[in-house]
Chain A
Amino acid sequence: MSQPFLEVKNLTVSFPTEDGLVRASNDISFTVARGETLAVVGESGSGKSVTSLAVMGLHDRRSAQISGQAILHLENGPIDTISAPVDVVRKLRGKSMAMIFQDPMSALHPYYTIGDQISEAWRLYNDGDKKAGIKRATEMLDLVGIPGAAKRVLEYPHQFSGGMRQRVMIAMALVNNPSLLIADEPTTALDVTVQSQILELLKNMQKEFNMAVILITHDLGVVAEVADRVSVMYAGKIVEQAGIDDIYYQPDHPYTIGLLNSIPRVDQLEGRRLIAIPGQPPSLISLPAGCSFRSRCSFASQVPNNLCASAVPDLDEKIGGHFSRCHLTEEQLKKARVSTGAQL
């Protein structure tokens, strides 16, 4: 694996609220290299989006308390977006790192043409007049597969369908050849046939620009399609981190095992009963002591001394390259996989 482009170390994002300090994202560490796709998987409240927003410097520093590091290894040297001055980070956005969001319907300004919006992104970092900007915008629209780009570049967002708008967002994000692309639930709001088009596009663009890609999603199917490595998040912490095959075929955390067992699959028709994870995700304000997943874990009883209730497990390397935040041993986890009768 090549040298990482993004190195996140012990990133913690907390928000003071009326009811106390909410650690939306807690002690997060991961790396992403160019040409690699890291999927960050989690449900609502897992903190998956919060982490990426911190990397991009998009949190309001007045309301968010952020500690840790997010180091971009640029050509001119590394920059830590957490500690660097606001202006420095701002000049990295849209240039070295870019982000696309979930709902393309509302992510584009309704009053400006697509060409104007893409051109604006390009002219921010390149010398060029309006005409040059529109030309570049047209090129980008072509690149992302929008037919009739020369005409469409003069149109407004409401004249595009959802899938097309997401392509526009991608074009806008890539216009300055960023080295890191963060895609936050980019296909959740799209139809499934459009989703596969967009995922294909993202894969091609990654190759074209040799980008590091972070894909944030809750859809384990999408992850299987595009990811090289996976970080599973729960209640603000990373609970498992491994290569894609390891995560799916040898999951090493009860939450991951639970998730994989609970999702229905089009390729499995035998009347398999979905094994649901009981209970619901905890409130981040009043996290229980010890392991956050304990109340929903079927295997906590196997851990001696009631450790799960008192000690937060560390993110340990259970097997080479495979990390899990769990008190269970690798042996116990193996048995857990088998005992749930899941077809992995």
Chain B
Amino acid sequence: MLKYLIRRLAATALVITLVSMSVFVIFAYLPMDPARLTCGKACTPNIIEANRHRLGLDVPVQVQYGRFVKGLVVGRHYGEGVASFECPAPAFGYSFNKHACVSTLIADAFPVTFSLAIGAFILWLLLGVSLGVIAAKRQGKWQDKASTAFVLVGISLPTFISGILILLLALKFKLFDPIEMGRWVSPFTDPIGWARNFIFPWITLALAFAATYTRFTRSNVLETASEDYIRTARAKGLSEKVILRKHTLRAALAPIITIAGLDFAGLLGGAIITENIFNLPGLGRLSIRAVLVDYDLPVILTTTLLAAVFVVVMNLVVDILYAYIDPRVRVA
């Protein structure tokens, strides 16, 4: 098991490095001039060139990448003299738009996205798995058919519609103060307020995902229930409840963990639409604004890289988890 872990960690590190390089190269060869984008209307070629130098964009790509990596570790110093600024480690870059180190922006946005992701995750898992189990146990009956209807609705409704609908409903029934929308409070200082801000975004996201998980759980449970080892468990005299909990679910839910982990990782990169609808200042809103409004390349570069890293790391976590659950996978 240890060898497996070490191998996987090394592989993950390699993949992250490759991803960062690719992202970097893509951005280096974009047809847009990042230096040009650093200043607004009152731009002169002199300012552009000065910024280009300050951002270190006037050196070859490899050198840029090298400095980038160094910056991740020790922090980075942009420019010299009066107009210089410092970004502490990890330094992802500097946003001229917001006049802040990208790392600061990320640090502010991440807790929001994380809160959104974790709440939705727990909600959709609970909802999806329970509905799936019920549908499987009552196969063919009305509960099963109702769950199918729910699944269809959930999968077909895109979040920008369901999100807006939920928002409208919440506002109509005054469940929600529009002034408060998007105001971040830390869960440690004001848990109720925190939850209140996130409850509707959570529901929006959870609906979309729960539908898939209901379907998936249902088919997994049905398939597992017909396995020979379930029949053996019954022959031993175990009660149906125990069989479901210890035998059926354990086997049926294992593959769901893989998928759930990856979905969660995807959300960590930012649930763009939901964050926008509910005005949550998370990574999603940060990156979409950077793309559509500000053309803020350092931010875009960083959010892209981070989204990729989350998925890669979660991939590793999920694989290890799966090996822990299913001993047949631990062959090596």
Q: Which residues of A contact B (CB under 8 A)?
A: 56, 58, 90-95, 98-99, 101, 103, 106-111, 120-121, 124-125, 156, 158, 169, 172-173
Contact = CB atoms under 8 A, between A and B. Distances in A.
A125 B237 contact: yes
Contact of A108 (B229, B234, B235): B229
B238 A111 contact: no
B229 A107 contact: yes
Contact of B228 (A91, A101, A120, A125): A101
Nearest to B254: A111
Given A156-B327, A156-B328, A108 B239 contact: no
A120 B234 contact: no
A158 B236 contact: no
Residue from B228, B235, B238 whose CB has the most chain A CB atoms within 10 Å: B235
Contact of B231 (A107, A110, A120, A121): A107
B251 A110 contact: yes
A169 B326 CA distance: 20
Given A106-B228, A111-B327, A158-B328, A93 B236 contact: yes
Residue from B231, B232, B234 whose CB has the most chain A CB atoms within 10 Å: B232
Given A109-B251, A110-B327, A98 B235 contact: yes
A56 B231 CA distance: 11
Contacts of A101: 228, 231-232, 235
A111 B253 CA distance: 12
Nearest to A113: B327
B237 A91 contact: yes
Nearest to B228: A106
B11 to A, nearest CB: 25
Nearest to B328: A158
Q: Is the interface of B mostly helix, strand, loop or mixed?
A: helix
Interface string B237-263: 111000000010011001000000000
A49 to B, nearest CB: 11
A271 B251 CA distance: 53
Interface string B311-332: 0000000000000011110000
A62 B162 CA distance: 40
A172 B236 contact: yes
Given A111-B250, A111-B325, A58 B231 contact: yes
Contact of A106 (B227, B236, B238, B247): B227
B167 interface: no
A91 B236 CA distance: 9
Contacts of A103: 228
Nearest to A104: B228
A90 B239 CA distance: 7
Given A58-B231, A98-B235, A101-B232, 17 more contacts: A93-B236, A94-B238, A95-B237, A98-B236, A99-B235, A101-B228, A107-B228, A107-B232, A109-B250, A110-B229, A110-B251, A110-B326, A110-B327, A111-B325, A124-B236, A124-B237, A158-B327
